[in-house]
Amino acid sequence: MNTIDVITAKRDGGRLSDEQVDWVVAAYTRGDVADEQMAALAMAILLNGMDDGETARWTQAMIDSGEVLALGDVGRPLVDKHSTGGVGDKITLPLAPLVAACGAAVPQLSGRGLGHTGGTLDKLESIPGWRAALSEAEIAAQLADVGAVICATTPSLAPADRKLYALRDVTGTVESIPLIASSIMSKKIAEGTDGLVLDVKVGSGAFMKTPERARALAETMVAIGGAHGLATTALLTDMSVPLGRAVGNALEVAESVDVLRGGGPTDVVELTVALAREMLALAAITDVDPAQVLASGAAYRVWERMIAAQGGDPSASLPVAAHVEEVAADRSGVLTRLDALAVGVAAWRLGAGRARKEDAVQAAAGVRLLVDVGDEVAAGQPLLELHTDTPDAVAGARAALDGGVRVADGPGPERTLVNEIVRP
C-alpha cells in the first residue's frame, strides 16, 4: 500500500477499498503514516464523503486498532447511551442509575468537556473523592454489583480514534459526518454493549446546527451499528435552549441529584425518561416504567452506590463558587430567548470549561438559570447567576450573553424536546 495512492483516490472522489481503509488506519496508528498525510486524507473525506460501506469499514479499522472490553456476563443486559454534546446536558448522571434501577447494566464510558460543551467526567469530579479511571476488571465488577458505571475510556480502546480526533481538531476536519460517526461508534462498539441509544443534539448549542445535518449523522450512526450487529436507536433532541437550569460542573451534579430525588426541571426529567424507555426497549425490558422508578427513589439509591463504588462521597457538600453575580432583565415582558451557545460560552469563560484538553476546570463555575423561556419577568428581575472563582472572568461571560438573552413582548417560542427518532 502507498499513502499517496490512498489520498489521491479519495481526493478524486473515489471509493476506498476495504484493504486501503484497514491499511491506512493501522499504519497511521503505529506512526507509519505522517500527520500531514492523514490530515490530507481527512480533508478529502470531508469534501467527498464516504459511503455506508466505507464508513462501516473505517469504524471497524479503528476498533481493530485496540482492544474490545471483555466484560463477561454481568447478570444483566448491557445497554449504553451517547450524547453528541450540549449545554446543561447532564442527562447521563440521572439516566445511568435510572436504567440500572430498572434492571439493565449501563457501561457509560464518558469524556471531558471542550469549549462550550460540558464533560460528564468534569461534572462528576466535583464530587469529593470520586475517581474516573477504572480498570476493565473494576468496570465489570461494578456493573455486576451496582448495575451502572460512569468512567473514563480505557487507554486500549480505539487508540486510532484518539490520535485521529486530535488531528481533526487542528485541521478543520471535525465536521465530516463519516469521521464523526465512526469516531463515536468505534468506541461504543468496542465497549461490548448489547444496545446503544444516541442522543443527537440539534440547535445553536449543539455541534449539529440544523435538523438535516443532525438527521444525517443519526442515520449514519444507526447504519454503522446495524453493520456491526449493535442494536442502535437515535433521538434528535433540541439544544437551542440549555437543558435544565444549571450549566457547569457541581451545579449540574446538584440538579441531577434533585432529579433523582423526584424533583428537578421538567425538561431534564422528560429527556431522562424518554432515553431510559429507548434503552430498556433495546434491553428487552418491557415491564418496567422508568418514570415510576424515578419517582420511587430507587434510581437515587443506585446513584449513591455508584458514586461510593468509585471512591466518592454522595453525601458530601459540593464546591461553591467564591463569586456570584446576577444578570437582570433590562425591561418587563417575556423571556423569549435564552440561547444555548451564548450560555455555554459564558459558563466556559467563567471557568466551567476548557479551551485545550490539558486545561483545568473550576468545579463550582457556571451559570444558574433563574427563569425559563416563556416566563413573564419584571424590569430588574434577576434572570441568571454567574458563578466563578475568578471575578475577572465575569466581564467576558457577560459579553458572551449579549444578544443571547432577550426579554420582549408576546409569548415565548414553543419547544419540542424530542423532535425525531431514527431506528434501523
Query: What are the residue numbers of the active site?
Result: 82, 161, 168, 183, 187
CA 197 to chain centre: 12
Determine contact, residues 403/224, Cβ cutoff 8 Å. Answer: no
Q: Which residues contact 19 (CB under 8 A, 6 or more apart)?
A: 1
Q: Which three cell numbers stand for residue 246?
A: 444549571
Q: Which three cell numbers stand for residue 193?
A: 454493549
H or E segment and range at residue 405: strand 405-408
Give me Rg for the CA atoms of the chain. Answer: 22
Q: Which three cell numbers stand for residue 351?
A: 471557568
Tell me how long the chain is.
424
Determine contact, residues 107/143, Cβ cutoff 8 Å. Answer: yes
Among residues 253, 399, 394, the alpha carbon closest in space to that of 324 is found at: 394
H or E segment and range at residue 265: none
Q: Which three cell numbers stand for residue 93?
A: 448522571
Residue 392 DSSP symbol: G
